[in-house]
Structure 1
Amino acid sequence: MSMEVKVLSTITQTNLEALKHHMKKLGFKYYKEMNGWVTFGARLMMNGKGVAPDDCISISVRFMDIHADLWDFDLISKLPEAKQAILNFYEAEGIANED
């Protein structure tokens, strides 16, 4: 049985690199892409399954969906700028909010 690996397009990878750079300037050091979700975290913590990001923002690379789990007040104050960077990513990807 073969396992299918989905590879992000070159354009999406370029857009993610720009987003990663911006998020790093905001204090999010951890980055991971898995199952169509990209997660940025301020630090790492151990959970029952291994290492996981703490104080994190996750976005979907397939549709417009953002999840934020922030406890650090400094990071919370940067949320509007992080949100704008994520919206810029979605705009570059041609993903629109259908609300």
Structure 2
Amino acid sequence: MSAETKVLPASTRTNLEVLKHHMKKLGFKYYKEKDGWVTFGARLMMNGEEVAPDDCISISVRFIDFHADLWAFDLISKLPEVKQAILDFYEAEGIKE
């Protein structure tokens, strides 16, 4: 059996780099991509046996869907800017629904 590696298309990688830049300006760091979701966190914490993001936002790179888990009020106030950065990413990807 061969191991199939999931590789994002070059255009998606480019669009993701732009999104990472926007999110960094808003106070979020890129955490990881897993199962078609990209997660950004404001802080990292220990979660059982691994490091996980705290105050995080996850977006799908396949369809329009995102999840925000924010406790800090300064981050909550940035949600409109985060939303626009995510919508810009989806528009660049050609995802409308």
Q: Give the TM bin, normalised by the shorter chain.
A: over 0.9
Looking at structure 1, the residues matched to 60 and 82 of structure 2 have their Cα atoms a distance apart, in angstroms, of 14
Partner of residue 93, structure 2: 93
Partner of residue 40, structure 2: 40
Q: TM-score, normalised by structure 2?
A: 0.95
Q: Percent identity?
A: 81
Report the Cα offset of residue 5 of structure 1: 1.4
Deviation per CA, 1:3-53, whole angstroms, max 9, x where unpaired? 321100000000000000000000002331111100000010001130100
Give aligned pairs, total.
97
Q: Which runs of 4+ in 1 moved over 4 A?
A: none
Task: Tell me the C-alpha RMSD between the 2 structures.
Answer: 0.9
Looking at structure 2, the residues matched to 30 and 88 of structure 1 have their Cα atoms a distance apart, in angstroms, of 17
The residue type paired with residue 87 of structure 1 is: L
Q: TM-score, normalised by structure 1?
A: 0.93
Looking at structure 2, the residues matched to 47 and 34 of structure 1 have their Cα atoms a distance apart, in angstroms, of 17
Partner of residue 18, structure 1: 18
Q: Provide structure 1 residue ranges, at least 5 long, that are not aligned to the other structure.
A: none
User: Secondary structure of the equivalent of 1:57?
Assistant: strand
